[in-house]
Copies of this chain bind each other. A is one copy, B any other.
Amino acid sequence: MLYDGNAPTGMMLIGTEYVRGTQASVQGVAPATGERIEPDFAGATREEVKRACQLSAAAAPLYQAVPLEQRARFLDTIADNIEALGAPLVARAMLESGLTEARLTGERGRTANQLRMFARVIRDGGFLDTRIDPAQPDRQPLPRVDLRLRNVALGPVAVFGASNFPLAFSVAGGDTASALAAGCPVVVKAHSAHPGTSAMVGQAVADAVASCDMPEGVFSLLYGSGSEIGQALVADPRIKAVGFTGSRRGGLALVQTAQQRSEPIPVYAEMSAINPVLLFPEALKARAAEIGQAFAGALQLGAGQFCTNPGILFAVDGPELDEFVAAAKAALEQSPAQVMLTPGIHTAYTDAVEHTAGLEGAHIVARGQPGDGPNQCQSVLIETTLAAFQQQPAFLEELFGAASVLVRLPSIEALPEALEKVEGQLTIALHLEKGDYAAVRNVLPMLEARAGRLLVNGFGTGVEVSDAMVHGGPFPATSDGRTTSVGTLAIRRFLRPVSYQDFPPELLAEELHESNPLGVPRLYNGKLQLSD
């Protein structure tokens, strides 16, 4: 077992076998106290990585052939099993991450709902992208063959969880859910910051594999200290795609390994973003203080440890902006410090704030309350000028935590040149009123080219799990700006189209049969047909 009902056992899961690792171990640390948490999770050998990948490859054709309804029930069952873990799961995640009970209870709901959403996606069948061009034997000058297209699963997927979402972006998070929905087996490398939470969720998946009679190897869970096991996983020739959420450095290292394989594979790494916030003049005139207060709230949500945290603001200098700053400052100064996810993240945050605040032309205008325990995040608002911003690319580096940089523009006409420097982002938020529309239209194409999600009069921190969500964006926000890691479109990352020409029905998958027995939506002879 990974979890015996009372506590994580420290074991790994390779196919259906529970194995105790033999390599350097991982141990959770409670960031609120700095204390280590039992048990040890001994790491996998390279041989064990290989075995997990072999089982995954063996499972791939079997799992892809599982009827869609059964595949959907598998995801539903994982969701049920996660919820059935009850309060101990939330307690363990709180202990390991320092996040609050409310936040983790919400995240558990999101994780389960995400699995159920992908179960609906499977049942709907639209993800198969079925297309049928029936034969036209009498076409001139040449007859047309019969062509039937469907998406197939890419094959085994390696998933790396994120420290900041120990449930929703981890063992059974969005990457795993969308890969399993696509028909891909998954090998998870557990995040070392929440090994016990990973074990508990891993057990929920393992139980679903058993009770839903899924092929052995459809899911494995490995531990490993450092990056060796993760790198070995991505380098394994049986792995066909990678899902990752984490740092730019970590993501790019996996991308490099994936590209150096004799068969390069796609890596979907969601890496870093500073999520610009644009405060347009009329919005500031109408409600500078209100926006300032809301900004302080968004900045500090979860100690700022969101990929979509508002890390940089652009606004025109003037009395309205001063009013915004005053309101943000007042709110920040009243805000207590919050525990960060890990000692390493806390140290990196403190260093990065010091570095950015020390850049030429930068100064701190507001700070939250200092912490009174280990690993506490003290919020910070830094200010600078457009000239200083343009000269120092370091302002564009992500400050992971509750810190943000305000860039004062001389005029709204300077906004395009400021945005010119901005790299790919997950989100860009626009605060605006009707009077700002012309100024917004002037930069909208630049914004579309730079972010996966644009939002009006809010902040990017809430990420709805739905059909129309894009949690992605151009490089370096992600390693593949054509995709999203949240929402139903995330399934596309793990699929590829295959065309079947002149196949006898006996050899075709059900979704390609003329009579459409599964009732999937399809493009038939150029016409879209709805599902049943």
Listed in ascending order, the chain A residues whose CB lies under 8 Å from chain B are 60-61, 64-65, 106, 126, 131-133, 141-142, 144-145, 147-149, 152, 154-155, 259, 263-264, 266, 423-424, 434, 437, 440-441, 444-446, 448-449, 451-458, 462, 464, 466-470, 472, 474-476, 479-482, 484, 489, 495-504, 506-507, 521, 523, 526, 528, 530-531
B467 touches A501 (CB 8 A): no
- Give the shortest distance, in Å, between A447 (CB) and chain B (any CB): 9
Cβ contact of A448, chosen from B458, B467, B481, B498, cutoff 8 A: B498
Instruction: Compute how far the CA of A506 lies from the CA of B436 in the bound complex, rounded to whole angstroms.
Output: 11
Residue of B with least CB distance to A512? B468
A452 touches B497 (CB 8 A): yes
4 further A-B pairs in the complex, CB-CB below 8 A; given A149-B467, A452-B496 = A131-B489, A263-B476, A452-B497, A455-B502
Residue of B with least CB distance to A451? B498
A132 touches B468 (CB 8 A): yes
Q: List 19 A-B contacts (CB under 8 A).
A: A60-B445, A60-B449, A126-B528, A131-B467, A154-B482, A263-B476, A266-B482, A437-B504, A444-B507, A452-B498, A453-B499, A454-B499, A454-B503, A455-B503, A456-B503, A457-B502, A467-B523, A470-B498, A472-B497
B455 touches A64 (CB 8 A): no
Cβ contact of A499, chosen from B106, B457, B469, B503, cutoff 8 A: B469
Cβ contact of A456, chosen from B64, B266, B467, B502, cutoff 8 A: B502
B466 touches A155 (CB 8 A): no
- Give the shortest distance, in Å, between A198 (CB) and chain B (any CB): 27
A521 touches B526 (CB 8 A): no
Instruction: Compute how far the CA of A441 lies from the CA of B508 in the bound complex, rounded to whole angstroms.
Output: 10
Instruction: Compute how far the CA of A366 lies from the CA of B385 in the bound complex, rounded to whole angstroms.
Output: 76
Residues in B with CB closer than 8 Å to A528 are 126, 521, 528, 530-531
With contacts A133-B467, A468-B147, A501-B455 known, is A61 near B424, CB below 8 A? no
Instruction: Compute how far the CA of A457 lies from the CA of B481 in the bound complex, rounded to whole angstroms.
Output: 40
Closest CB pairs A-B (n = 10): A61-B445, A455-B501, A147-B468, A470-B499, A149-B468, A131-B468, A453-B499, A133-B468, A133-B466, A482-B496
Residue of B with least CB distance to A479? B264
A454 touches B498 (CB 8 A): yes
B145 touches A464 (CB 8 A): yes
Residues in B with CB closer than 8 Å to A457 are 502
A506 touches B437 (CB 8 A): yes
B466 touches A147 (CB 8 A): yes
With contacts A424-B263, A437-B506 known, is A497 near B470, CB below 8 A? yes
- Give the shortest distance, in Å, between A135 (CB) and chain B (any CB): 10
Instruction: Compute how far the CA of A95 lies from the CA of B79 in the bound complex, rounded to whole angstroms.
Output: 65
Instruction: Compute how far the CA of A383 lies from the CA of B495 in the bound complex, rounded to whole angstroms.
Output: 36
Residues in B with CB closer than 8 Å to A147 are 464, 466, 468-469
Instruction: Compute how far the CA of A507 lies from the CA of B456 in the bound complex, rounded to whole angstroms.
Output: 10
Residues in B with CB closer than 8 Å to A489 are 131, 149, 497
A64 touches B445 (CB 8 A): yes
Cβ contact of A149, chosen from B440, B469, B502, B503, cutoff 8 A: B469
Instruction: Compute how far the CA of A331 lies from the CA of B131 in the bound complex, rounded to whole angstroms.
Output: 37
Instruction: Compute how far the CA of A501 lies from the CA of B447 in the bound complex, rounded to whole angstroms.
Output: 13
Cβ contact of A495, chosen from B154, B446, B482, B498, cutoff 8 A: B482
Residues in B with CB closer than 8 Å to A475 are 263-264
- Give the shortest distance, in Å, between A446 (CB) and chain B (any CB): 8
Instruction: Compute how far the CA of A481 lies from the CA of B452 in the bound complex, rounded to whole angstroms.
Output: 23
Residue of B with least CB distance to A527? B530
Residues in B with CB closer than 8 Å to A266 are 480, 482
Residues in B with CB closer than 8 Å to A498 are 448, 451-454, 470
Residues in B with CB closer than 8 Å to A500 are 453-455
Residues in B with CB closer than 8 Å to A106 are 141
With contacts A467-B526, A496-B482 known, is A453 near B507, CB below 8 A? no
Residues in B with CB closer than 8 Å to A456 are 501-504, 507
Instruction: Compute how far the CA of A146 lies from the CA of B59 in the bound complex, rounded to whole angstroms.
Output: 40
Residues in B with CB closer than 8 Å to A466 are 133, 144, 147
Residue of B with least CB distance to A117? B526
With contacts A482-B496, A507-B437 known, is A145 near B448, CB below 8 A? no
